[in-house]
């Protein structure tokens, strides 16, 4: 079975500060990892995904994440937070198979303070 753990259900940063959202995974096989963002009363939007091609993955809106096998981590970062980044962020992992069954973490709500 595969799972992800997101450390911190709420994170607050000042506008312009570094954003760091933590995700650790558990997998018996090489994982495929994703970060999704959800704005209030909206669906989920894919920020980025790790597919084993490169350990540093760049996504939309200047977000990036680094896959670290030794630490079983896939933390999400952004150099400078904007007010518009306030949302909930979900880390997710897939299982193998003919379709993509996604297991989501419990989410981290990001608050950006002006």
Q: Where along the sequence are the contacts to another protein (CB under 8 A)?
A: 9, 32, 36, 41-46, 49, 51, 90, 94-102, 104-107
Rounded Cα distance, 93 and 114, in Å: 33
Across the strands, what pairs with 2? none
3-state secondary structure of 62: helix
Q: Outline where DSSP puts E strands in 15-86.
A: 19-26, 33-38, 44-50, 56-58, 64-68, 73-78
Work out how close the CB of 96 gets to another protein at its nearest, in angstroms, rounded to a whole number. Answer: 5
**Between residues 28 and 114, which has the closer beta carbon with respect to another protein?**
28
CB nearer to another protein: give 6 or 73.
6
Q: Which is nearer to another protein, 22 or 49 (CB)?
A: 49
> In this structure, what is the dihedral angle of CA atoms 2, 69, 5, 77, given to the nearest 10 degrees?
-130
Pick 97 or 114: Cβ nearer another protein: 97
């Amino acid at each position: 079975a595969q799972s992800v753990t997101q450390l911190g259900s709420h994170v607050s940063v000042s506008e312009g500060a570094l954003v760091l959202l933590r995700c650790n995974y558990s997998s018996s096989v090489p994982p495929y990892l994703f970060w999704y963002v959800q704005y209030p009363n909206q669906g989920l939007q894919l920020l980025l995904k790790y597919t084993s091609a490169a350990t540093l993955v760049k996504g939309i809106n200047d977000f990036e994440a680094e896959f670290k096998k030794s630490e079983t981590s896939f933390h999400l970062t952004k150099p400078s937070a904007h007010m518009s980044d306030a949302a909930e962020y979900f880390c997710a992992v897939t299982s193998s198979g003919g379709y993509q069954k996604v297991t989501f973490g419990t989410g981290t709500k990001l608050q950006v303070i002006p």
